């Protein structure tokens, strides 16, 4: 199949399409640039997607109305203007939506260079398979710099609608070396993981610190939605035996390694986020970050100061799967305070209008740099007491007073 230029591809689009754009490192940047230069190409069309905050920094809704199962700061203007329709879906439900009700006509995604009559989804295997299952036209935007991973989703060239020549800068995730409170938080989380466990981690500095603290463990497996550079350290340290993930994001060293690392398998969200599959894995430990946790155990992981900056994502899929796993544990990790210690991230109650990303009935274990609060099976007073004990010391008295006032109203 001959490759065409992004501009030539933009000329081929007919009006009124429903077009899925891959997110994370699969974002088809070269095609988006061509579409921005030719606005009429998307006349009457709608975009579909799951862009990732801090990675996909373009406002897709500036090209055409967008239906999104995730939010980024760059989309907030479009949301206010009515150009963005935000669906607060679990990742597992977002996959099901894209596979059917979204009615996608076309999927555009970045891929590795063709090899042996097929292309690899490279770093981003999460949602494009849903569009493939729905029968959408598949458009691969070829970037020779992307790794052709040994074990992942591949599409035969004959299944593709078009191949577009589209190299562009690959998103990078800085490698962070946690210290101070973050390092202490990581050590507390690592203390909850046993040799032989299957581990999942989300996105953020707190969970990255936890991953780096696992280097002394052995016979671990990873099953989750995303990996970054700390996974390489655990493989090399002998802590981690195998990895199943949907996407990878990190440094050039990570991308180079992925081209030849046979212990890492890439799978779509229908595999990585399926709660039944997760529950069938014994000793599954889900480790995810949060913005704040209230004294009921409710978790907010998507809104800051009343602003939608992220989405539901996969946190509930992993929390519920972990709680159903034999010996499983669901960990929420966060620093106890923010803004130089002036605000507590353990709060008496989530503010009105704040979405609950993890319900109090799903709460299990909350960890800060000050310790571990076990909430499963705890009554409401025990929950409050244990959460206050791991809050920043300067906020504990205010939290206790706040709980006393709430408790008096029950």
- Domain boundaries for CATH 3.40.1080.10 within the chain: 3-165
3-state secondary structure of 294: strand
Average pLDDT over residues 4-9: 97
pLDDT at 202: 82
pLDDT tens by residue, 323-339: 999 999 999 999 999 99
**What's the rounded Cα separation, in Å, for the pair 21 and 30?**
12
Q: What distances in angstroms separate CA 225 from CA 80, 206, 247, 345, 348, one per listed residue?
A: 29, 16, 6, 25, 31
State the average pLDDT over residues 103-128. Answer: 98
Q: Say which CATH class 180-409 falls into.
A: alpha beta
Q: Report how far residue 83's alpha carbon sits from residue 63's, in angstroms, rounded to the nearest whole number.
A: 10
Contact 344, 336 (CB under 8 A): yes
Closest CA to 339 of 387, 390, 310, 305: 305
Give the integer Cα–Cα distance in Å for 180 and 53: 26
Q: What is the pLDDT of residue 207?
A: 86
Beta strands in 262-328 (DSSP E): 264-266, 284-289, 292-294, 299-300, 303-304, 307-308
3-17 average pLDDT score: 96
Question: Where exactly does CATH 3.40.1080.20 map onto the chain?
Answer: 180-409
> According to CATH, what is the number of the domain 3-165?
3.40.1080.10
């Amino acid at each position: 199949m001959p490759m065409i230029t992004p501009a030539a591809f933009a000329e081929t689009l007919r009006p009124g399409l429903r077009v899925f754009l891959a997110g994370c490192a699969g974002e088809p940047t070269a095609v988006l640039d061509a579409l921005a230069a030719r606005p009429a190409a998307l006349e009457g069309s709608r975009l579909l997607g799951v862009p990732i905050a801090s990675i996909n920094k373009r406002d897709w809704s500036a090209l055409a109305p967008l239906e999104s199962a995730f939010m980024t700061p760059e989309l907030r203007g479009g949301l206010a203007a009515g150009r963005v329709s935000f669906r607060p879906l679990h990742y597992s439900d977002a996959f099901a939506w894209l596979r059917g009700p979204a009615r996608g006509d076309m999927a555009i995604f970045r891929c590795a260079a063709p090899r042996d009559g097929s292309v690899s989804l490279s770093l981003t295997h999460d949602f494009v398979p849903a569009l493939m299952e729905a029968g959408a036209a598949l458009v691969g935007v070829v970037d020779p710099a992307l790794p052709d991973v040994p074990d992942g989703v591949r599409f035969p060239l004959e299944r593709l609608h078009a191949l577009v020549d589209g190299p562009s800068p690959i998103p990078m995730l800085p490698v962070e070396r946690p210290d101070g409170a973050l390092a202490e938080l990581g050590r507390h989380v690592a203390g909850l993981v046993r040799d032989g466990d299957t581990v999942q981690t989300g996105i953020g500095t707190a969970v990255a610190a936890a991953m780096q603290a696992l280097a002394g463990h052995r016979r671990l497996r990873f099953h989750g939605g995303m990996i970054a550079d700390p996974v390489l350290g655990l493989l090399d340290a002998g802590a981690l035996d195998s990895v199943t993930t949907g996407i990878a994001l990190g440094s050039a060293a990570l991308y180079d390694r992925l081209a030849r690392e046979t212990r890492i398998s890439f799978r779509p969200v229908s595999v990585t986020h399926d709660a039944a599959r997760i529950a069938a894995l014994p000793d599954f430990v889900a480790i995810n970050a949060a913005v704040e946790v209230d004294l009921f155990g409710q978790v907010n992981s998507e809104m800051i100061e009343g602003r939608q900056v992220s989405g539901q994502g996969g946190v509930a899929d992993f929390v519920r799967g972990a709680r159903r796993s034999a010996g499983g544990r669901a960990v929420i990790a966060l620093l106890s305070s923010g803004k130089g210690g002036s605000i507590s991230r353990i709060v008496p109650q989530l503010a009105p209008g704040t979405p609950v990303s993890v319900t109090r009935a799903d709460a299990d274990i909350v960890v800060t740099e000050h310790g571990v609060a076990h909430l499963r099976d705890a009554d409401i007073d025990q929950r409050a007491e244990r959460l206050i004990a791991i809050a920043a010391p300067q906020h504990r008295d205010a939290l206790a007073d706040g709980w006393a006032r709430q408790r008096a109203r029950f």
